[in-house]
Amino acid sequence: MISKSLEIQSHGGVNFPTGVSLLKDSLRNKGTAFSAEERDALGLKGLLPPRIFSMEEQVERALKQFRKKESDLERYIFLTALQQRNETLFFRLLLDHLEETMPIIYTPTVGQACLEYGGIFRSPRGLWISIEDKGNVESVLRHWPNQGVRLIVVTDGERILGLGDLGALGMGIPIGKLALYTACAGLHPYYCLPITLDVGTNNEKLLEDPFYIGLPRTRAKGAEYEEFLEEFVAAAQKVFPGSLIQFEDFGNHNAFDLLGKWRDRICCFNDDIQGTAAVALAGLIAATKETGVPLRDQRVLFLGAGEAGTGIGELFVSALGEEGVSEAEARLRCWFVDSKGLLIKNRGDEMPKHKLPFAHEGEHVASLAEAVEKIRPTALIGVSGVGRSFTADVLRSMAAINERPVIFALSNPTSKAECTAEEAYLHTDGRGLFASGSPFKGVEYQGRTIHPGQGNNVYIFPGVGLGALCCAASRVDDSMFLAAARTLAAEVTTEDLSRGSVYPSLTRIRAVSLKIAKAVAERAYALGYAKIPRPADLEQHVAERMFVPNY
């Protein structure tokens, strides 16, 4: 008798595998958990050790092996190997121990894994589509064995976390993001496809490396690049109609151009721009419960004016617009410091168009410390990728200006964080409301332990994707991310805040993702983007479509 859990679907009429083929099918393989009846029916007799283990026992054994590894990179390799052979067990381990495993499968360890991706490469996962495939992208996409892909996470590797241009080594990012989609929001792994577009790299170290796994050429740009991306998006829509495309870790210029070109034409979003914006805004909203300063009265100073920073600014402006604040006034509540100092009009340099709406009248200052004194912000948000740029002086100034200063050091990985949790609390006399992109452990301060929140996009993008797919949305717009941000902020409890976190516990991530998915789907129905009739119970409709990793 075949267990119901093995019957994923008869995708495209593919026959159900048996014997060794079944053991090599990571989506159906149960390893030593196959029952005696299944072993007889599926030709597994003799191919497995005779003792049968429960999933709980398998998780316990895997966790023990995981914890024995001597480094985080070795733990990453262990988890990727487990995913390759038994995805259900992999996701059960993740879900049961998310606070321990998420820093391994994603930030900060995924950064190191990407740097060493060529050296730790064991077996392929996802699709690499190179610029040399230009003109044949559709045929390459059709090599993917799973029919009906619904979710694509794609990168060109130009801006991997805060590490820069890693070219083809950036594949660890879409793989990691999709693992979080499944673990945190229940997207079935069968329907998920990670893709790296190899358009070359300008990283000289990689170009000189004889073992670099990508194309040994400089990055395509201009018409060559644009035509290739146009072909990719069109081919993806043809081969996998109705799929959601998440653009991930593209360079600033290309990221804004791609989003601007496609956001009103297909179901897509850019997590670095929109996901980061939503999770940061949610943190700001939750922080108001502690500071007592309403969102409309916040004055936010950003260090970094790229995708993440201006994305947060734009969503903040939209949020204030919902509260009756004019766009002009809302923009005046957002100030930016980039590599050339405070962003103001007539600064003398040519600004990218995404910065222009936030260039205000004012006097130029060169440093962040001077900007804090001049702007007197209620919140300081770091998205610069410059580690330790929130100096002691900057943090002390924030504490002098505010009773409860909001300090978000969101750059990844940990080495790029603008300050540590300990520094934030030490230099604000324990009064700072701190959040970071990478996780930090609890900090002992004057007899109490403060547990900082992690402003990780994992709180946002899985729920947004789930909500869009469950109603077959034709678009994902900024109002959906605003709804996601407000939903996330509402899930922050008094207990979370008392511990020092402006985000919910990761142990509640599936429940939070479900709430966000419902809110996103509600917006899609309200805007007329949903392609299927609205179910009587939308939350139940979404919940029933969440993959649960059980045999």
Asked if 1-53 and 294-306+322-456 have one fold, the answer is: no
Which amino acid is present at 437? G
| pLDDT for residue 4 is more than 70 | no
Q: Where are the domains of the chain?
A: 1-53, 109-266, 294-306+322-456
CATH of segment(s) 1-53? 1.20.1370.30
Q: Which residue has the tokens 């949305």?
A: 473
Q: Is residue 2 pLDDT above 60, yes or no? A: no
Task: Please report which confidence band the pLDDT of residue 259 belongs to, taking 50, 70 and 90 as the band edges.
Answer: very high
Mean pLDDT in residue range 298-323? 97
Which residue(s) pair with 443 in the sheet?
Answer: 450
Residue 122 has a pLDDT of: 85
CATH superfamily of 294-306+322-456: NAD(P)-binding Rossmann-like Domain (3.40.50.720)
**pLDDT tens-digit profile of 484-529?**
999 999 999 999 999 999 999 999 999 999 999 999 999 999 999 9
434-462 average pLDDT score: 96
- Phi and psi, residue 20, nearest 5°: -60, -35
CA distance 505 to 496: 7
Per the structure block, which two tokens stand in for 217? 């050429």
Render pLDDT for 133-188 as a digit per residue (tens, 0 to 9): 999 999 999 999 998 999 999 999 999 998 999 999 999 999 999 999 999 999 99
CA of residue 343 relative to chain centroid, distance: 28
Q: Does the pLDDT at position 12 exceed 70?
A: no
Mean of the per-residue pLDDT values for the chain? 95
Catalytic residues: 106, 177
Q: Are 249 and 173 in contact (CB under 8 A)?
A: yes
CA distance 298 to 316: 10
Q: Are 436 and 454 in contact (CB under 8 A)?
A: yes
pLDDT given for residue 1 in this prediction? 32
Under the phi-then-psi rule, with left for phi > 0, alpha for psi from -120 to 50, and beta for the rest, what region is 131?
alpha
Beta strands in 279-401 (DSSP E): 300-303, 334-338, 341-342, 379-382
| H, E, C per residue of 317-342 | HHHHHHCCCCHHHHHCCEEEEECCEE
pLDDT of residue 450: 98
What topology is assigned to 109-266 in CATH? Rossmann fold (3.40.50)
Q: Residue 10 — very low, low, confident or very high, per pLDDT cuts 50/70/90?
A: very low
CB distance 470 to 462 below 8 Å: no
Report pLDDT for 6: 41
**pTM of the full predicted structure?**
0.95
Mean pLDDT score, 386-402: 98
- How do beta strands 379-382 and 406-409 pair? parallel
Is the N-terminal amide bond of 17 cis, ω within 30° of 0? Answer: no
Contact 417, 454 (CB under 8 A): no
What integer pLDDT is reported at residue 325 of this predicted model?
Answer: 98
- Of 149, 391, 177, 146, the C-alpha closest to 269 is 177
Q: Which amino acid is at 413?
A: P
Query: Which tokens hold the place of 93?
Result: 């381990």
Amino acid identity of residue 540, one-letter, is Q
Burial code of 486-502, b = ≥16 C-beta within 10 A, e = fewer? bbbbebbeeebbebbbb
Distance of CA 305 to the CA centre of its chain: 19
pLDDT of residue 348: 79
Answer yes or no: is pLDDT of 363 > 90: yes
DSSP H helix total and E strand total for the chain: 24, 14
User: In one letter, which amino acid is 9?
Assistant: Q
pLDDT at 416 over 50: yes
pLDDT mean over 17-27: 96
